[in-house]
Amino acid sequence: MLIVGATGGLGRALAYRFAKANFTLQLCARDIHNLKKLKNELYSRGFSKVSIHELNILDSKKFQELLNSLPIQPDIFIVTVGKMSGRGESERDFELATSIIRTNFEGPVNLISLIADRFEARNSGSIVAVSSLAGERGRASNYVYGASKAGLTLYLDGLRHRFQNTKIQVLTVKPGFIDTNMIAGHNISPKLKINPESAANKIFIAIDKGQKTTCLTPFWRLVQIFLKVCPDFVFKRLSL
């Protein structure tokens, strides 16, 4: 299996969860030193079926070369790369907005497209991408991030439609809050966060069950329904 964004909070937890289930791990991230550290940690805990591969999600020209160089062609592909700014920052900063859109949408989409063709050729595989509930409805505090995730979610919907009569799974993960660096420093009640290990376990189970989408917890599934059905005249009064 292949994890892209393996050095992030959720990526690391996913690496451990799949290592525990005895999968052979191919871990990608942009910082080779952090990747080496993660590989050594996994080794020291007895997980030795690990290879590491440097990949910047913005460097799409290298994607094909990376996929060709993998020791094993993966049967599960997870992209968990993501970037978010502080409240309202990317809405006023053109360069930051561009970087968020490219990291959350352009990069994952280009990479998934290549993986999708490979999986289609052999009619099997699981494509998993971590989007966000922020992509369900635009909010004043982070609509650039939300729009980039909405784009990713819609892309995955289309990909799932393309593969509806195949054995290929397309799983969209739409979390609420996961306790990682991404939300460190944000004023979020601990009750609303789940830890990355628990999130990774729920993703593991969703893949195993062949699910199409998951919000990870029943609470965040209810939030998703609320975001869809809440009338505009109520929604605009909320400070979100």
Query: Which chain residues interact with ligand NAP by CB under 6 A?
Result: 5, 7-11, 29-31, 34, 56-58, 80-83, 103, 130, 132, 175, 177-178, 180-183
Task: In whole angstroms, give the CA distance from residue 182 to residue 180.
Answer: 5
Q: How far is the CB of 7 from ligand NAP (least distance, A)?
A: 4
User: How far, rounded to the nearest angstrom, does the alpha carbon of residue 217 sit from its chain's CA centroid?
Assistant: 16
User: How far, rounded to the nearest angstrom, does the alpha carbon of residue 224 sit from its chain's CA centroid?
Assistant: 17
Using the minimum distance from each CB to ligand NAP, give the nearer residue, 129 or 168: 129
Q: How far is the CB of 104 from ligand NAP (least distance, A)?
A: 6
If 0-12 CB within 10 Å is exposed, 13-18 middle and 19+ buried, where does residue 232 land? exposed
Q: How far is the CB of 20 from ligand NAP (least distance, A)?
A: 18
Q: How far is the CB of 71 from ligand NAP (least distance, A)?
A: 20
Q: How far is the CB of 59 from ligand NAP (least distance, A)?
A: 8
Using the minimum distance from each CB to ligand NAP, give the nearer residue, 93 or 120: 93
Using the minimum distance from each CB to ligand NAP, give the nearer residue, 81 or 168: 81
Task: In whole angstroms, give the CA distance from residue 50 to residue 165.
Answer: 33
Task: In whole angstroms, give the CA distance from residue 23 to residue 10.
Answer: 17
Answer whether 170's CB lies under 8 Å from 160's CB: yes
Using the minimum distance from each CB to ligand NAP, give the nearer residue, 76 or 120: 76
Using the minimum distance from each CB to ligand NAP, give the nearer residue, 32 or 230: 32
Q: How far is the CB of 121 from ligand NAP (least distance, A)?
A: 26
Using the minimum distance from each CB to ligand NAP, give the nearer residue, 73 or 110: 110
| Structure-block tokens of residue 102 | 């490219």
Identify the DSSP state of 24: P
Task: In whole angstroms, give the CA distance from residue 188 to residue 73.
Answer: 39
Q: How far is the CB of 34 from ligand NAP (least distance, A)?
A: 6
Using the minimum distance from each CB to ligand NAP, give the nearer residue, 109 or 182: 182
Strands (E), 188-233: 193-194, 213-214
Task: In whole angstroms, give the CA distance from residue 99 to residue 139.
Answer: 19
Cα torsion 184, 186, 187, 190 to 10°: value is -40
